[in-house]
Chain A
Amino acid sequence: MQNDTAKITARGVQVYYGDTHAIKDVDVDIAANTVTAFIGPSGCGKSTFLRCINRMNDTIPVARVEGDIRIDGEDIYDKRVDPVQLRAKVGMVFQKPNPFPKSIYDNVAYGPRIHGLSKDKADLDGIVENALRRAALWDEAKDRLDAPGTGLSGGQQQRLCIARAVATSPEVLLMDEPCSALDPIATAQIEELIDELKQNYSVVIVTHSMQQAARVSQKTAFFHLGNLVEYGETSRIFTSPEDTRTESYISGRIG
């Protein structure tokens, strides 16, 4: 089941927020059709590194990124790369569900409309339906596509956000603690969904829950104080970590 061709390669990545050195010299290869989990204590830089992959850090004026990040061998920080196009290719789901104050349909159709992905209305309907099915929301939402997305429950909202990201047919899906605002049942649904999504996308998920990382991911990276401490097969990281810091974290001694 493992596909070891690296989708994303990062070499010597440094991130500075003003004077703070948030990410220190991170090298990582993220495989295609794999779920990769970033774990680590709060403030360790895992979300920051995630936001480098779709250049969301560009929207923060004081943030500065150095180093080399390639997707399919293409340097995404190259001057010729349009960050706006990049973000269509690298979808993102945020910590708190953030549906737009629009109808469910318009939420999902947002990306395709902006990027002109549909030929006509019927085509767009198809994209929306397909995305909602991928996000396991179609059955619940098909009868109320005109209802506001903000009227859904928290778990449904998060799946709507996943559908919204999927609708632009990205290659990589970044998830920044997607379940931290959800209850256990909604979390289980999202986790199941992540497992299915990996068939089409490279999924990178930041999580605070080590159980979640163990459940959904094949690879795990442990960040600590801006350093990538250890990276490898999830099963190995959780059973026989090499670094003492990793061991302390997953056994609950630090964190």
Chain B
Amino acid sequence: MPLSWILLLLAAIGLAAFFLSRRRAVGSVEGDARRLHSLPLYYGLHGAMMALAPALLLLAIWLVVQPMLLDRSILSGLPDDAIPEGSTPGLVMSDVRRVADGIERAFANGAFSEGDLTALTTEDVGAVITGGGTALGTPLTADVLAAARDYWLARGTLAWIMTAAVLGLALIGAAWAIRRSDGAFRARNVVERGVLVLLIAAASIAILTTVGIVLSMLFETSNFFRQYEWTEFFFNTTWQPSFSGRGGSSELGIIPLLWGTLYISLIALIVAVPIGLFAAIYLSEYAGKTFRSIAKPVIEILAGIPTIVYGLFALITVGPLLRDAFASPLGLGNSASSVMTAGLVMGIMLIPFVSSLSDDIINAVPQAMRDGSLGLGATQSETIRQVIVPAALPGIVGAVLLAASRAIGETMIVVLGAGAAARLDLNPFEAMTTVTVKIVSQLTGDTDFASPETLVAFALGLTLFVITLGLNVLALYIVRKYREQYE
């Protein structure tokens, strides 16, 4: 039975449980809903919850676990020589699955009949399957055919068992909930607990995903360090991957990339923090209501521009302008791609992050602080400098660190603005590149996930993750430490 049918039936059972529970509860008090412990709706919800929640959970687990167990059992049934030279168990299994799908289709359109199953030969099936438009990785062997037949049979049986189990569980849950529904039953409290479980589940998914990302990165990174010396990775000052993979050794030192990342981020922050902060102060303390209601959204539009568009701006406008205006006359090089270009444009991109957050934070400083300072005869700018900004400092630092995280993770602007050459240089008009750009370039094109040149991307990614995580922790720490400054 297809999955959609199971879901439809479940929905029907849930709906029935909803109405039956509610009716039974209302019936138990002779229709006088005031004598119920909870509103009738809660009895219905309780019924639906009990019918659906366990059944859906079983369905989800089953769908995840069944293929894993089935694959393992079919593979263990295959003789060792069924896996040809140069192939892997995974490839053979996907052939088995394809043949099983072909058999299923053949039965569905009447090419085979029930009695044929045991008598099928490789030629018959091969012809039918390729005729049905399925391509096979290797010529069909008797072993694979046998495995496919077992696979298909087992899959069919398991699907029926699953359907029966899921629907059975739903019916049991529904019946139990309906039986419990009488006037004294505290359906409201049970539903409340169900809501709590739902919320906890949502929160755990976010946390578990983070853990999963870190674990997968850790796994690949440990693979990389098995092939490449970690001291070389962290302390070598040259980045020179050899892409042939064979012959010619690679030098994969992270230092030039980290330097480029930090240099560009620093310039971006030097641009973004003062401009963003001053804009925020103007908007929140000086600007009139009308101006503010126009200017704030306009500044925030900057945050909505895709970074690739900023990259184009850097490539076409800012890069050549900086080269012609500063770099060439000053004799600092004649490259249009430069750290300065990428940093400036990235800084513009970050302005709304700093200004919008700081604006909110400055607005959150109580009016009593302003009154107190103005009442002592301070001017507006004295008040801002000595009272408002110090009071808002934790939030402002948080905004700046958020912008820093963005700058460190930015890729497109760097590719187009600063180029892709890894270089360790102090000259801001020289082309350099960052960690993220190199992650992209190591993973695009023909990649072999066993070579250090590819795996280094994961080590780079993990390093970057650790750095931004550190920044976030620092931001949290600062905000916590100074949180109770006013009030």
Contact = CB atoms under 8 A, between A and B. Distances in A.
Interface string A160-183: 010011001000000000000000
B376 A91 contact: yes
B379 A102 contact: no
B286 to A, nearest CB: 11
Interface string A61-92: 10000000000000000000000111111011
B376 A56 contact: no
Given A96-B368, A114-B382, A150-B484, A101 B376 contact: no
Nearest to A54: B375
B364 to A, nearest CB: 13
Interface in A81-112: 84-89, 91-92, 94, 96, 98-102, 110-111
A87 B376 contact: yes
A156 B369 CA distance: 17
Contacts of B366: 98
Contacts of A89: 377
A85 B377 contact: yes
Given A101-B390, A101-B391, A101-B485, A84 B378 contact: yes
Interface string B281-316: 000000010000000000000000000000000000
Q: Tell me the dominant secondary structure on chain A's binding face.
A: helix
B487 A84 contact: no
A59 interface: yes
Interface in A137-177: 148, 150, 161, 164-165, 168
Given A101-B486, A150-B484, A87 B374 contact: yes
A84 B377 contact: yes
Interface string B41-57: 00000000000000000
Nearest to B390: A101
A87 B377 contact: yes
A3 B487 CA distance: 40
A21 interface: no
A55 B288 CA distance: 20
Interface string B203-235: 000000000000000000000000000000000
Interface string B377-412: 111001000110011000000000000000000000
A92 B375 CA distance: 6
Contacts of A88: 376-377
Contacts of A100: 369, 372-373, 386-387, 390-391, 486
A215 interface: no
Contacts of A54: 375
Contacts of B379: 84
Contacts of B484: 150
B27 to A, nearest CB: 55
Nearest to A97: B368
B378 to A, nearest CB: 5
Contact of A110 (B368, B371, B373): B373
Nearest to B379: A84
A150 B288 CA distance: 31
Given A61-B288, A114-B382, A98 B371 contact: yes
B374 A86 contact: no
A168 B377 CA distance: 9
A172 B129 CA distance: 100
Contacts of B377: 84-89, 111, 114-115, 168
Nearest to B487: A150
B378 A165 contact: no
Contacts of A96: 368
Contacts of A148: 485
Nearest to B366: A98
A56 B390 contact: no
A102 B387 CA distance: 9
Contacts of B373: 100, 110
Contact of A114 (B370, B371, B376): B376
Contact of A111 (B370, B376, B391, B486): B376
A224 B288 CA distance: 33
The CB with the most chain A CB atoms within 10 A, among B288, B370, B375, is that of B375
Given A94-B368, A100-B369, A114 B378 contact: yes
Interface string B447-487: 00000000000000000000000000000000000001111
Contacts of A94: 368, 371-372, 375
A200 to B, nearest CB: 17
Nearest to B288: A61
Nearest to A113: B386
A203 B338 CA distance: 65
Nearest to A174: B375
B284 to A, nearest CB: 14
A165 B377 CA distance: 10
B482 to A, nearest CB: 8
A79 B387 CA distance: 28
B485 A150 contact: yes
Contacts of A98: 366, 368-369, 371-372
A87 B377 CA distance: 5
Contacts of A102: 390
Contact of A164 (B368, B376, B386, B390): B376
A150 B483 CA distance: 12
Nearest to A96: B368
Contacts of B378: 84, 110-111, 114
Nearest to A98: B368
A100 to B, nearest CB: 5
A165 B386 CA distance: 17
The CB with the most chain B CB atoms within 10 A, among A54, A85, A110, A148, is that of A110
A59 B374 contact: yes
B486 A150 contact: yes
Nearest to A167: B376
Contacts of A85: 377
Given A84-B377, A84-B379, A101-B390, 17 more contacts: A87-B374, A87-B377, A88-B377, A89-B377, A91-B375, A92-B371, A92-B376, A96-B368, A98-B366, A100-B372, A100-B486, A101-B369, A101-B387, A101-B486, A102-B390, A111-B378, A150-B484
Interface of A: 54, 56, 59, 61, 84-89, 91-92, 94, 96, 98-102, 110-111, 114-115, 148, 150, 161, 164-165, 168
27 contacts: A56-B371, A56-B374, A56-B375, A84-B377, A85-B377, A86-B377, A87-B374, A87-B376, A87-B377, A88-B377, A92-B376, A94-B372, A100-B373, A100-B386, A100-B387, A100-B391, A101-B387, A101-B485, A110-B376, A110-B378, A111-B377, A114-B378, A114-B382, A150-B484, A150-B485, A150-B486, A168-B377
Nearest 6 A-B pairs (CB), nearest first?
Answer: A88-B377, A98-B368, A101-B485, A92-B375, A87-B377, A98-B372
